[in-house]
Amino acid sequence: AKKAGGGLAVFFEDDMNRLASERAQLESDLRHAVQDGELEVHFQPLVDCRSGALLAAEALVRWHHPTRGAVSPATFIPIAERSGLIEELGSWVLDAACRNFAAWQRAGYPLARVAVNVSSRQLRSDRFVATVRTTLAKHGLRASQLEVEITESVLVDDMALATARLEELRRLGVSIAIDDFGTGYSSLAYLKTLPVDALKIDRAFIVDIATSSGALALVRAIIAMAQATGKTVVAEGVEHQAQADLLRQMGCYCIQGYFYHRPMSAAALGGLLAEQRRP
Ligand code: C2E
Ligand code: CA
Ligand code: CA
Ligand code: CA
């Protein structure tokens, strides 16, 4: 029973226990989610802010839990990573992303590529590159039509292995983006040596560029660095016209964010692409 004085510690302990059992429950539910058809892939367009044209789409997984409703990937992806389920889940997302992209290609929609998030554990798996190659072949995609997004934490976990994997992917022709750029703590030196095609500036840097000159200067510096190292630069989390305008002025033309489009179902993106193609 709880004693006065020890109450706070007991409270924390209860909380920790609840969190742990909640996580265990989610993990066991997640084990069945793929087979039971509870997962869905949504897509968020990357837009050319000069023309409004859709350039690419990022696949973002959704989990419709039978009793909890929508569970955020920010909650279940870490659980999938820790439990090893991420390999199966990640392969499923890759397949769904490529399948939808192939259908848009056949319909003649002008989308250059589809981007898929890849976690550290997935990248380190020795089956990963083979899975990518098979999935591309299965759906008739060229490797250049796939972009893999990894975070800087992937590099910190095991730089040598990550680099080797990325080089294998690059040799296939897959393009590689560093996600949430700027939020990790790895060395900038890797930008020179790593086979990376694009940097995605994290939303945390974009959020106050219209109100803070410091934030604006920082983003300007990131854009300059990307350009100096020959990489495409993408701004994430753009929610306002003012942010899009500033980014365009600074030479960052590829934008992803609620200002243009929220993530949407494959069917909704198909509709949007059909609209864009119409003269
Ligand atoms: P992320 O890869 O950085 O994806 C961007 C997140 O920001 C998405 O959240 C997206 O819905 C959200 N977002 C996009 N534009 C805006 C905006 O203008 N404002 C705000 N406030 N948010 C915006 P989501 O879909 O909840 O995904 C969260 C994270 O979960 C992703 O962050 C990614 O790290 C992870 N994730 C999602 N799907 C997958 C997947 O298939 N595999 C792996 N490994 N991770 C995934
Ligand atoms: Ca991403
Ligand atoms: Ca991101
Ligand atoms: Ca993120």
ipTM of the complex model: 0.98
Structure tokens at 156: 């910190």
Mean pLDDT within 70-93? 95
**Euclidean distance between the first and final Cα of the chain, in Å?**
72
| Closest C-alpha to ligand 1, atom 46 | 117
- Binding site membership of 237 for ligand 1 (Cβ less than 6 Å): yes
Structure tokens at 65: 């839990």
Ligand 1 centre from 60 Cα, in Å?
6
What atom of ligand 1 comes closest to residue 238's alpha carbon? Answer: 18
The whole model's pTM is what?
A: 0.94
- Binding site membership of 184 for ligand 1 (Cβ less than 6 Å): no
Percent of the chain past pLDDT 70, that is, above it, reads 94
Give the pLDDT confidence of 38-77 residue by residue, as tens digits.
Answer: 999 999 999 999 999 999 999 999 999 999 999 999 999 9
Beta pairing partners, 114: 57, 146
Q: Return d(Cα 64, Cα 58) in angstroms, integer.
A: 19
Across the chain, where does the E strand assignment appear?
A: 39-48, 54-65, 69-71, 113-117, 146-151, 175-181, 198-201, 232-235, 254-255, 264-265
Structure tokens at 215: 């934030």
| Closest C-alpha to ligand 1, atom 4 | 60
Q: Return d(Cα 38, Cα 73) in angstroms, integer.
A: 13
Could you tell me the pLDDT band of residue 28, with boundaries at 50, 70 and 90?
Answer: very high
Ligand 4 centre from 245 Cα, in Å?
23
| Closest C-alpha to ligand 1, atom 29 | 74
Determine the residue of 88, 117, 259 to mutate for testing ligand 1's pocket, defined as the one with the most ligand atoms within 8 A of the Cβ atom: 117
How many CB atoms within 10 Å of residue 23? 16
